[in-house]
Amino acid sequence: MTSFYAPNHLKHIAGLEKRFGPVSDEVATGLRSLVRVICQHEDPVEAIPFLERCLALEEALHGSEATLSDLNTWIGQAGGVDFEDLEPLQLRRLAVKTEVFGETSEQVAAECQALAQRYGSNVPYRKARALLERSIAIKEKLHGADSVEVAEAVDLLAETSARLEKWKDVEADLQRSLELKEEIFGARSEQVARSLLAAAIVYANASKLQQSGTRHERIRKAVSAFDSGLNLLEERFGPDSFEVQNALEAMIRAYVECREFRRAEPLLKRLLAIREKAYGNDAPALLWILTELAKGYAEESVDEAEPMLERSFAMLRMLLDAKKPIFRPGIANLPGNGDGVLEQLVRASDRFRSNLRKRWGAAG
Interface with another protein, residue 318, by CB under 8 A = no
How many angstroms separate the CA atoms of 221 and 217, rounded? 6
Task: For the CB of residue 271, give the shortest distance to another protein in the complex, in Å.
Answer: 12
Candidates 227, 282, 310, 350: give the one binding another protein (CB under 8 A).
310
Candidates 76, 213, 329, 361: give the one binding another protein (CB under 8 A).
361
CA 226 to each of CA 194, 245, 249: distance values in angstroms, whole numbers, following the listed order: 9, 13, 12
How many angstroms separate the CA atoms of 290 and 347, rounded? 14
Amino acid identity at 14:
A
For CA atoms 37, 43, 49, 52, the dihedral sign is positive
Among 20-28, 78-86, 216-224, 265-273, which window interacts with another protein (CB under 8 A)? 265-273
Interface with another protein, residue 273, by CB under 8 A = yes
Among 78-86, 100-108, 159-167, 301-309, which window interacts with another protein (CB under 8 A)? 301-309
Task: For the CB of residue 361, give the shortest distance to another protein in the complex, in Å.
Answer: 4
Task: Tell me which DSSP letter residue 336 carries.
Answer: S
Interface with another protein, residue 307, by CB under 8 A = yes
Task: For the CB of residue 300, give the shortest distance to another protein in the complex, in Å.
Answer: 14
Candidates 12, 220, 259, 269: give the one binding another protein (CB under 8 A).
269
Among 91-99, 173-181, 246-254, 356-364, which window interacts with another protein (CB under 8 A)? 356-364
Candidates 218, 270, 295, 351: give the one binding another protein (CB under 8 A).
270
Residues 71 and 32: beta-carbon distance below 8 Å: no
Task: Tell me which DSSP letter residue 284 carries.
Answer: G
Which CB, 100 or 346, lies closer to another protein? 346
Interface with another protein, residue 360, by CB under 8 A = yes
Interface with another protein, residue 306, by CB under 8 A = yes
Task: For the CB of residue 284, give the shortest distance to another protein in the complex, in Å.
Answer: 22
Interface with another protein, residue 275, by CB under 8 A = no
Interface with another protein, residue 223, by CB under 8 A = no
Task: For the CB of residue 306, give the shortest distance to another protein in the complex, in Å.
Answer: 5
Candidates 76, 84, 213, 303: give the one binding another protein (CB under 8 A).
303
Nearest to 254 by CA among 245, 244, 264: 264
Which CB, 269 or 328, lies closer to another protein? 269
Candidates 110, 137, 148, 302: give the one binding another protein (CB under 8 A).
302
How many angstroms separate the CA atoms of 127 and 161, rounded? 12
C-alpha dihedral (261, 263, 265, 266), degrees to nearest 10: 180
Residues 105 and 138: beta-carbon distance below 8 Å: yes
Interface with another protein, residue 364, by CB under 8 A = no
Interface with another protein, residue 357, by CB under 8 A = yes
Interface with another protein, residue 17, by CB under 8 A = no
Q: Note the helical H segments in the chain.
A: 6-20, 25-41, 48-62, 67-77, 83-101, 106-120, 125-143, 148-163, 167-185, 190-206, 212-237, 242-257, 261-279, 287-300, 302-320, 328-332, 341-359
Interface with another protein, residue 134, by CB under 8 A = no
Size of the site for another protein (CB under 8 A): 14
How many angstroms separate the CA atoms of 179 and 189, rounded? 12
Candidates 61, 95, 123, 362: give the one binding another protein (CB under 8 A).
362
Which CB, 87 or 306, lies closer to another protein? 306
Cα–Cα–Cα angle for 265, 360, 260, rounded to 5 degrees: 20
Neighbour count for residue 274 (Cβ, 10 Å): 18
How many angstroms separate the CA atoms of 86 and 64, rounded? 19
Using a 10 angstrom Cβ sphere, with 0-12 exposed, 13-18 middle and 19 or more buried, the burial of residue 102 is: exposed
Question: Which residues would be at the binding site for another protein (CB under 8 A)?
Answer: 269-270, 273, 302-303, 306-307, 310, 356-357, 359-362
